[in-house]
Copies of this chain bind each other. A is one copy, B any other.
Amino acid sequence: MKGQTPTRPDDGLTTRERRNRPMLLVHTGDGKGKTSAAMGMALRAWAQGWPVGIYQFVKSATWVTGEYRALTTLGEATGDVTFERMGTGCTWMRAAHGGEVSAEEAARLAWAEVRRGLAEERHRFWVLDEFTYAMDYGWIDTDEVVAALRDRPGTQHVVITGRRCPADIVELADLVTEMTKVKHPFDTGQKGQAGIEW
């Protein structure tokens, strides 16, 4: 449904400008659905014909997920979808780096790539999946991320997912949703299932 705005802001923007404002969204919290919701949003972006870029910071490049299959299939059907799994198994990183990369090195290389892409306006809709961990672990400087996001040119929407999102990113974000576990089957011994968890 089209969103209703309770207040009309005094920001000097037209309604059209407010409809085209670049958005920074965060899906955080300990519950399920952070990545799935970002992928669901990517479907909307794809359907708009926007260039979509999905960068997964932790997922192994050898693990073929349903979202990878689906988004790449959509990109082949029509449009412009980039889907990079930039964990330690990432092929181009290993090639560029001349061998194995650690999780920390992979995260730094992935961020350098995303930062370049943002400066170049490479996509209109970005998913930085499980990106919070790299900041939380101190592998990537949060101030640098804030600056790169704040100064990104054009209309580039960015969705960041992951637990423990740094406060400065929450502060910068336009929309923050927390996914909270009310009830989880792993608590009672349920196993993860293909088609459900990946």
> How many copies of this chain sit in the oligomeric assembly?
2
On whether the beta carbons of A182 and B177 are closer than 8 Å, the reply is: yes
A20 within 8 A of partner (CB): yes
Interface residue tally for chain A (C-beta within 8 Å): 80
- With A27-B33, A177-B179, A178-B182 given, is the CB distance from A7 to B74 under 8 Å? no
Q: Which of B15, B26, B157, B193 contacts A191 (CB 8 A)?
A: B15
Interface hit among A62-70, A89-97, A109-117: A62-70
The answer to whether A175 touches B170 (Cβ under 8 A) is no
Smallest CB–CB gap between A162 and chain B, Å? 12
Nearest chain B residue, comparing its CB with the CB of A15: B191
Q: A190, B5: Cβ atoms under 8 Å?
A: yes
Interface of A is mostly: mixed
B5 and A186 within 8 A (CB): yes
Q: Tell me the minimal C-beta distance from A160 to chain B in angstroms.
A: 13
Tell me whether A70 and B41 are in contact (CB under 8 A): no
A6 touches B190 (CB 8 A): no
**Residue of B with least CB distance to A20:** B193
Please name 9 further chain A to chain B contacts, defined as beta carbons within 8 Å, in addition to the given A23-B190, A36-B41, A48-B195, sorted by A numbering: A3-B190, A31-B177, A33-B177, A37-B40, A40-B40, A47-B65, A47-B69, A170-B182, A176-B181
